[in-house]
Amino acid sequence: MLKKWNFSTAEFGSIRKIVQVIFLITVILIGYRFYTFTVQLEAGIIPDIDRPPGIEGFLPISALISLKYYFQTGIINDVHPSGLLIFLFISAISILIKKSFCSYVCPIGFLSEILTKIHLKIFKKGLRVNMFIDYPLRLIKYCLLVFFVYTIFFKMNGFAIKQFLYSSYNIIADIKMLMFFTDISMTAAIIIISLIILSVFIRNFWCRYLCPYGAFLGFLSFFSLFKIRRDEEACVSCKKCDEVCPSSINVSKSKNIISDECFACGKCIDACPSKGTLSLSLPGKKFRLKPVIVCIIVVFIFSGGSFLARYTGNWQNNISKKDYMNYMIENGLVNIP
């Protein structure tokens, strides 16, 4: 007889899958709408649909430049306003609940989990990269992050920032990003396939070693209010938490998990046979978050934030469809005689 599924007592794994699927469907719908919008522009047709603002979530570099522009002027730029706000939503989540964006929302994180399942089919207990190789490789994403932060916040002056934000290149950056995949070069295809293969043999290869966005969220997660915490007295030292951790963190040896690689996925909590030993909580194990509460927080920050942005007029940009057509023609991206 099947047990009745209770949303309030469900484990992290079950709740997280629901949230991942919700956001994945949202991303697919946004992508399809944006693809239709772009195809009509390419054909020299003024689109009969509006451009979805959510696509700007895939422009993190532009969002970082917009952040500096906001610090300088107090103005949310009207070219990619939602890109900046999505960046702030993601940052807020990381300050609250570690890198939960990566394990609850990010479609690349979702793909990495699928590839990890293939990894575990091949290597039953999973492979761990030697620490003398792992640590230097993990520096790569931080080096990339430092490069972008240094270039944007220390090298670009106010004039250069504004010139970039309102350039035709930045205005249609999302369209060029889409075309990178729809008209992909052989070199790019080989690199992407190589990354997928590497992710099968080395768990979370892209996220762990190459993603500068993940590096930024990892840095913010050091200040996270909620962390995985272990009750040393209740722990039975079975090490099941270590075995299931996708980031190869030695949970069984730590009182508080402060690692920049912790996704707050809750796999260690679900696997622990001594219930209550591990918790996602405030210091002193106060206010332990249930999986459903984590789900509500993540969804609320994104949905509530986007509704507030729409209400204040800071979600949709002010670029008309005709202007988009002109910028496409200017950049030679319209396929008409």
Best CA proximity match to 102, nearest among 204, 18, 245, 250: 204
Best CA proximity match to 228, nearest among 270, 169, 195, 199: 270
Structural domain contains residue 335: no
Residues 56-108 pLDDT 10s:
999 999 999 999 999 999 999 999 999 999 999 999 999 999 999 999 999 99
Full residue range of the structural domain in which residue 205 is found: 9-38+47-311+319-326
Residues 179-233 pLDDT 10s:
999 999 999 999 999 999 999 999 999 999 999 999 999 999 999 999 999 999 9
Phi-psi map region of 310: left, alpha, beta (phi>0 left; psi -120 to 50 alpha): alpha
CB-CB neighbours of 36 under 10 Å: 15
- pLDDT at residue 242 is higher than 60: yes
Structural domain contains residue 3: no
What pLDDT does residue 337 have? 58
pTM of the model as a whole = 0.92
Of 139-153, 209-223, 281-295, give the lowest mean pLDDT range. 281-295
What span, in angstroms and rounded, lies between the C-alpha atoms of 237 and 257?
A: 16
Best CA proximity match to 322, nearest among 46, 36, 39: 46
Provide the pLDDT confidence category of residue 331 given band limits of 50, 70 and 90: confident
- pLDDT at residue 315 is higher than 80: yes
- pLDDT at residue 4 is higher than 70: no
Residues 84-94 pLDDT 10s:
999 999 999 99
User: Which residues, in sequence order, are CB contacts of 66 under 8 Å at separation 6+?
Assistant: 76, 77, 80, 81, 83, 84, 87, 165
Structural domain contains residue 333: no
CB-CB neighbours of 192 under 10 Å: 13
What span, in angstroms and rounded, lies between the C-alpha atoms of 171 and 166?
A: 7
Provide the pLDDT confidence category of residue 332 given band limits of 50, 70 and 90: confident
Residues 35-58 pLDDT 10s:
999 999 999 999 999 999 999 999
What pLDDT does residue 286 have? 82
The overall average pLDDT reported for the chain is 92
Structural domain contains residue 334: no
Long-range contacts of 294-299 (CB under 8 A, 24+ apart): 294/12, 294/15, 294/97, 294/100, 294/104, 294/264, 294/266, 295/15, 295/16, 295/18, 295/19, 295/104, 297/93, 297/96, 297/97, 298/19, 298/93, 298/97, 298/100, 298/101, 298/104, 298/105, 299/19, 299/22
Residues 107-129 pLDDT 10s:
999 999 999 999 999 988 788 88
Residues across the chain:
337
Structural domain contains residue 121: yes
Structural domain contains residue 189: yes
Provide the pLDDT confidence category of residue 1 given band limits of 50, 70 and 90: very low
- pLDDT at residue 8 is higher than 60: no
Structural domain contains residue 332: no
What pLDDT does residue 127 have? 84
Domain count, the chain: 1
**Sign of torsion, CA 263 120 291 111?**
positive
Best CA proximity match to 294, nearest among 19, 5, 4: 19
- pLDDT at residue 7 is higher than 80: no
Provide the pLDDT confidence category of residue 252 given band limits of 50, 70 and 90: very high
Best CA proximity match to 42, nearest among 215, 183, 160, 153: 183
CB 260 within 8 A of CB 221: yes
What pLDDT does residue 9 have? 57
What span, in angstroms and rounded, lies between the C-alpha atoms of 208 and 216?
A: 12
Best CA proximity match to 90, nearest among 9, 259, 211: 211
- pLDDT at residue 285 is higher than 80: no
Higher pLDDT, 127 or 305: 305
What span, in angstroms and rounded, lies between the C-alpha atoms of 174 and 17?
A: 28
Provide the pLDDT confidence category of residue 334 given band limits of 50, 70 and 90: confident
Structural domain contains residue 337: no
- pLDDT at residue 6 is higher than 80: no
Residues 162-187 pLDDT 10s:
999 999 999 999 999 999 999 999 99
286 forms beta bridges with 282
227 forms beta bridges with 281
